[in-house]
Structure 1
Amino acid sequence: MAWENVKSSEGFHPTRRPTDYLPELGPWDVALTNEAQSPEGTEVNNEEANIESKSHRSSLEEEQGQSMGIDGKEHPKEVNPLLVTWDENDAHENPRAWKSSYRMFLVFVVSCYTFLSPLSSTANVPALDVLKREFNVDSFVIGNMMMSASMLAFVVGPSFYAPLSERYGRKYILQVANVLFLIFNVCCGLAKNSSTMIVLRFFAGLAGVAPVTIGPGVVADLFEPEERGTAMSMYTLSPILGPCVGPIYAGWIIQAYGEDKWPWIFWASTMFSGVVTVFGLFVLKETYTPVLLERKAKKLRKETGNDGYHTIFTQKETLGQRVLHGLLRPPIFYFTQPVIFVVCTYQALMFGCQYLLLASFSRVFKEEYGEPPGIASLHYIAMVLGFLVAGQAGGRWTDWNYRRLKAKNGGVGKPEFKLPLLIATGIFMPAGLLLYGWTVEYHIHWIVPDIGIFILACGARATMFISPLYLADSVTMYAASASGAAVMTRGVFSFTFPLFAPNMYDALGQGWGNSVLALVTACLGLPAPFILYKYGERLRLRSSYSKRGMTLMT
């Protein structure tokens, strides 16, 4: 089949040769396969794994009609007519050939799904004191676990959802998980004790983490690298805006209707979730190219009776191999791929500090400023404004700057070209923490702490959309698994940070407590973007998955 430009009403979208979609087989990938096939105790040689990877790629290059001669040039061969790829007649099926406005609409739909679980994760913050009294809880840790238990599920869920979405597609995983989230969220409003609440919150988070994990993969499915900045900034607004909006509406429910109406905090979010779920059932489409091409091959096999039709993604794996490859991929990515380890740890630290503050704002403004729950919840608006300003302006600037740096580099783009915004905003989080902490300590007018919240929110926002954008560009083929590793790490930090926050602030006060956080974020947040910008390419080249990241699925 001819590999030509596919034209949409928005312009030309280049498709790629089949081997451009093929990931390198890393040593751990081959090791897992051999582990499932070989007797226990058999060691796998890394050199043999690399030879197998090269042999695998060479055979596919021959299948698509190319080989490399001794003169270093590609020589055409006969194309395998049974290899199923995108062609000029598939513009309506190829996700990257769809109209730009429609692709952005799909990102909006997925971002609505992503908004639901973070919205619920902090919604009960204004009601924690009410829940502690009603459930006879005296411990700060148990009280905060009724909020942060949903974040603990973020550690577990990505190991399942990321590989499932890369095996069976994005659409159905998102829809099934969202229905389960609705069920558990309704049940949270019916809880009669703290143990039940914690367990239900965990399972609601386990279901709700699916779109948080899969969303960056959807963006990578739909957009070229130079287009992803704006799309990713819109998508990533949901997981960080949700935790800010939740306490606002929950605070007014408690203040306006009474403390005994706390179940409506969960039921109100469930009603909104139901609307989003029904909407998504009708408009959400599959975006993952390997799944779409496999469906095309299956259709051809059925129509022609020829079982030879296949794609470059067709793999003959046992169920055990699929489980090993799929469930272990996110944690293995985190611990074996240097660039993913650095980015995920940096992002998780910033998110943990943000979540700690989200859990403490309501208490601070009620106790330090004597404000009722509804009024105290309005201070989250300062964080919302910071997210909106940094996200929208930063996304557009990142796309513009990426194209500029790409042109200066001879038309060759690199994931590191997305990092300059992170370098510029690295100081925002520690500066905002210092301004917020010390002005609260001395009871300065509330507008000054809100300015500090706005500044730190700008820094957090830049981190939360540049980090997944960088990962998506580095390992595009496995963007969902890379995102899964990031979500798992964020889950660990956002679960643990709120647990020690009350004791830290009681011991150090708001001034010194937030100064400690500022120091920690400065130690990592200031040098990390520079290190990634200068050495990120070297780190990526050490990974068999990311060293071809600019060509996989692009």
Structure 2
Amino acid sequence: MAVVTTTYTRDPGFEVDFGDDDPGDPKNYPLWYRGCCIFFVSFGALTAVLYSTSYTSGIPGLKVEFNIKSQTVAVLGITTYLIGMAVGSVILAPLSEMYGRRPIYLGAMFSFCILILPCGLAKSLSTILIVRFFGALAGSAMISNAPGTVSDIVPEEHRALAFSIWSLGPMNGPVVGPLVGGFVFQYMGWRWTNWVVMICAGVVFIMMCLMKETYAPAILRQRAAKRRKETGDPRWWSRYDEKKKLWPLLKMNLSRPFIMACTEPICIFWNIYIAVVYAILYLGFVAYPIVFSGLRHWSPGMTGLSYTGIGIGSLVAIVCEPLIRRMIAAHKPDPVTGKIPPEAMVSIVCIAAICIPVGQIIFAWTCTPNVHWIVPIIAGIPFGAGNCAVFIYASNYLVHSYGIYAASALAGNSVFRSVLGGTLPLAGPKMYETLGPNWAGTLVGLLELALVPIPFVFYKYGHVIRKKSVLISSMQADKEKLEKKKRKMEERAERQEKELVVSEKMEV
């Protein structure tokens, strides 16, 4: 699987590339503009994720209007949405590597906005389930492609901070969904949980219209094509020019997330770990209404407020980013690259991996009415902080490991976590009914505890695993070739400059 399509027989003098301080290089965009881009994609991710969980607040209204007796059937709206996100990630992330981020964002967000309309006007649950699948397929662009956008515009040394800022959206989306949805359903009805999201999606579409392209290979391909057209000289080229026809190229790009998910050890284990953590987080959006609405008899709006513990935990993880960055920077640099190894970020995931089951088990044994309500909400703080840290730093680890194909690595991860996140909540109502809230919560907490060794193994042996990766080795070899070629071009330019100076002196 080639990292880039480079033709070394071409004249290097006609290669189109970014120059020093090139304003067209996404990493050289003005700081204020890059900040706006991060805000735009963060708000887009917030909107897409918010729609997945705000649905849970309107379930009582759906059951009454459509005469649904089974809670499991009503919860299917979460399942179809998350499966749609999984399918969309596989399609849209590779397409962004073929055509650039911007056209995918524009098409996806326009479709997402329009597909909310049938849900708000639906006359049956089946309509909602089907349309939510396709809406999620479109909305997944904001989850699968946004980390790639952040990576496109932010230098490596500031990437962790940028990811932390961006993650304010997707990490708080699951919490904001039931919080807003609860009060909207209580005072305006379940249909308005759709209209609120549609308004937000319209704003996101306008934001995407204001964003320039950020994917460097797409920009260089466009530049090379423009140069060829303007000059009429076919020798102009970029190292990202594709030589394959559309369908073979599409097949290769669409299959890449699955190939990486099945062949790359890093992807295999992180997909399993993150998928379980993500699925249990979404199980919480079934468990909280059972505990607070069912056992404590809270109103829908107040039940939405019960998620604030998880939200506070997420904010704590994000606010602590400067401290976390110092912890990462304290690691010994890689002797080969001279940079802090990606495994330094896994050290944060190790801490988060312990916080998650601790918060889950505390919640499990304090959620019943015999314990004051504040205690289970406080238990959400370590749970939320752990989930947020896993999401940020595990994703960052994948981005650092796979570079230009980070979007494909994250897309494969998104498939695993979305499928499991969509199916596990279906078991929630029956599991809590059969085992009771104490033991049901304990069961999932022990499952999270059983997977804790995964980040610890990668923290200790991740550098060895990366060296054995065929794809990463190929990327490194290609990078070294490009650097070698760049040095040769610089040396040749220096020689030509010296020869020119000597020639001018001789003429004088």
TM-score of the aligned structures, taking structure 2 as reference length: 0.90
1:501 equivalent in structure 2: 428
1:84 equivalent in structure 2: 16
The answer as to whether partners of 1:159 and 1:326 remain within 8 angstroms in 2 is no
Deviation at 1:293, TM superposition (A): 0.7
Correspondence 1:273 to 2:201: yes
Deviation at 1:406, TM superposition (A): 5.3
Q: In 1, Cα distance between the equivalents of 2:237 and 2:348? A: 42
Deviation at 1:218, TM superposition (A): 0.9
Match of 2:434, as an amino acid? A
Q: In 2, Cα distance between the equivalents of 1:474 and 1:538? A: 12
Q: Deviations over 1:426-447 (max 9, x none)?
A: 2111111111111113631011
1:540 equivalent in structure 2: 466
Match of 2:301, as an amino acid? G
Q: In 1, Cα distance between the equivalents of 2:143 and 2:339? A: 30
Correspondences of 1:291-306 after superposition (within 5 Å): 291-306=218-233
Correspondence 1:25 to 2:5: no
Unpaired segments of 5 or more residues in structure 1? 1-23, 27-52, 64-78
Q: In 1, Cα distance between the equivalents of 2:237 and 2:332? A: 35
Correspondences of 1:479-494 after superposition (within 5 Å): 479-494=406-421
Match of 2:250, as an amino acid? V
Deviation at 1:341, TM superposition (A): 1.1
The SS at the match of 1:191 is coil
Match of 1:82, as an amino acid? F
Deviates more, 1:93-102 or 1:499-508: 93-102
Quick one: which of 167, 186, 191 aligns to 1:263?
A: 191
2:256 equivalent in structure 1: 329
Match of 2:216, as an amino acid? T
Quick one: which of 441, 454, 465 aligns to 2:392?
A: 465
Quick one: which of 76, 88, 111 aligns to 1:180?
A: 111
The answer as to whether partners of 1:148 and 1:495 remain within 8 angstroms in 2 is yes
Correspondence 1:210 to 2:141: yes
Q: In 2, Cα distance between the equivalents of 1:549 and 1:446? A: 52
Q: In 1, Cα distance between the equivalents of 2:166 and 2:464? A: 29
Q: In 2, Cα distance between the equivalents of 1:377 and 1:158? A: 28
Deviation at 1:402, TM superposition (A): 3.5
1:5 equivalent in structure 2: none
Deviation at 1:373, TM superposition (A): 1.1
Deviation at 1:220, TM superposition (A): 1.6
The answer as to whether partners of 1:473 and 1:549 remain within 8 angstroms in 2 is no
Match of 2:292, as an amino acid? F
Correspondences of 1:332-351 after superposition (within 5 Å): 332-351=259-278
Q: In 2, Cα distance between the equivalents of 1:420 and 1:337? A: 21
The answer as to whether partners of 2:2 and 2:474 remain within 8 angstroms in 1 is no
Q: In 2, Cα distance between the equivalents of 1:519 and 1:175? A: 42
Deviation at 1:351, TM superposition (A): 0.7
Quick one: which of 111, 134, 151 aligns to 1:220?
A: 151
The SS at the match of 2:367 is helix
Q: In 2, Cα distance between the equivalents of 1:105 and 1:127? A: 33
Decide whether aligned partners of structure 1 residues 548 and 104 sit closer, same or farther in structure 2, where only a CA change above 3 A counts.
Answer: farther
1:144 equivalent in structure 2: 75
Match of 1:262, as an amino acid? W
Correspondences of 1:33-432 after superposition (within 5 Å): 60=8, 80-88=12-20, 91-257=22-188, 261-282=189-210, 284-393=211-320, 395-405=321-331, 407=333, 409=335, 411-432=338-359
The answer as to whether partners of 1:181 and 1:204 remain within 8 angstroms in 2 is yes
The answer as to whether partners of 2:293 and 2:300 remain within 8 angstroms in 1 is yes
The answer as to whether partners of 1:540 and 1:546 remain within 8 angstroms in 2 is yes
Unpaired segments of 5 or more residues in structure 2? 484-508
- Name whichever structure is richer in helix by fraction: 2
TM-score of the aligned structures, taking structure 1 as reference length: 0.83
Deviation at 1:408, TM superposition (A): 7.5
The answer as to whether partners of 1:368 and 1:443 remain within 8 angstroms in 2 is no
The answer as to whether partners of 1:226 and 1:402 remain within 8 angstroms in 2 is no
The answer as to whether partners of 2:148 and 2:406 remain within 8 angstroms in 1 is yes
The SS at the match of 1:426 is helix
